[in-house]
Amino acid sequence: MSTLLHALERLQALLEEERDALIRLDGEALSRFAQDKVGLLEALSAEQPAISADPNLQARLAELAELHIANGALLQRRRQETSWLLQTLGAASPATAYDPLGTRDMQRISRSLAQA
């Protein structure tokens, strides 16, 4: 049981580190934490019967799930901010995107002065 508690504590630490990396915009750290988190979640899934048998562990896991969801929401906000910035700069728009065949429409893209 102490191994399971240690794994849950490690998951909480990873989720907190992941949130800090999202705030700092540290992509390298996010990648590292994601790999560690996936491995830890796989190990915890093997312990599902023990977690299901203990209400305290279930409550702890529910708290960690909320942290994970909050990190996902922050990540989604970061993606939206990046997408908006790229569109504002004219670096990403449907007109400049590749189609499913891997080609681009080479028509000249015009923007009004207010957009530029």
Tens of pLDDT, residue by residue, the chain (116 residues):
578 889 899 999 999 999 999 999 898 998 898 889 999 989 888 888 888 888 888 899 899 999 999 999 999 998 898 888 887 877 665 555 666 666 766 555 555 656 54
Residue 34: per-residue pLDDT: 87
Residue 77: per-residue pLDDT: 92
Residue 10: per-residue pLDDT: 94
Helix H, strand E, coil C: the string for the chain is CHHHHHHHHHHHHHHHHHHHHHHHCCHHHHHHHHHHHHHHHHHHHHCHHHHHHCHHHHHHHHHHHHHHHHHHHHHHHHHHHHHHHHHHCCCCCHHHCECCCCCECCCCCCCCCCCC
Q: Is the pTM of this model over 0.85?
A: no
Residue 100: per-residue pLDDT: 64
